Amino acid sequence: MITKFSAVAIYITDQRKAIDFYVNKLGMELLFDEPGGYGEGENSNWVEVAPTGSVTHISLTPAALVGKQAGGNAPLLMHCDNAATTAAEFKARGIEISHEVESQPWGTFFQFKDPDGNEYLVSQES
């Protein structure tokens, strides 16, 4: 029986650049950065990041090494305490907000992009 999701793969072009973004701009923890994940050489480590305490991790997967393309809508939705405050903090850190804070009947949200153009939806927890 499956009990949880462990990681979601996000396709990126440069692991060092992605680690800098996810750790230093988004404030996530670097959980794994181990050689041999995708062969040998630069940009081939097994890398996982996650918000502090999160059960599900993000695997920063080198797109070229797995036959995929970076960018587009990412298969990962995030939550925050306050969408307006979080969006303002992201802007101050130089993160591209692709959809400004908006309220809908289902909740308040905004969207942002990482350096590879992967786009995330962040919704405010009710």
Summarised one tens digit per residue, pLDDT across range 81-100 is 999 999 999 999 999 999 99
Which pLDDT belongs to residue 125?
79
Closest CA to 31 of 9, 10, 4, 52: 52
Rounded to whole angstroms, the Cα distance separating 56 from 13 reads 22
pLDDT of residue 79: 93
pTM score, whole prediction: 0.89
Query: Does 3 have pLDDT greater than 80?
Result: no
pLDDT exceeds 90 at position 43: no
pLDDT tops 70 at residue 11: yes
DSSP codes, the chain: ------EEEEEES-HHHHHIIIIIIT--EEEEEETBTTBSSTT-SEEEEE-TT-SSEEEEEEGGGGT----EEEEEEEEES-HHHHHHHHHHTTPEEEEEEEEETTEEEEEEE-TT-EEEEEEE--
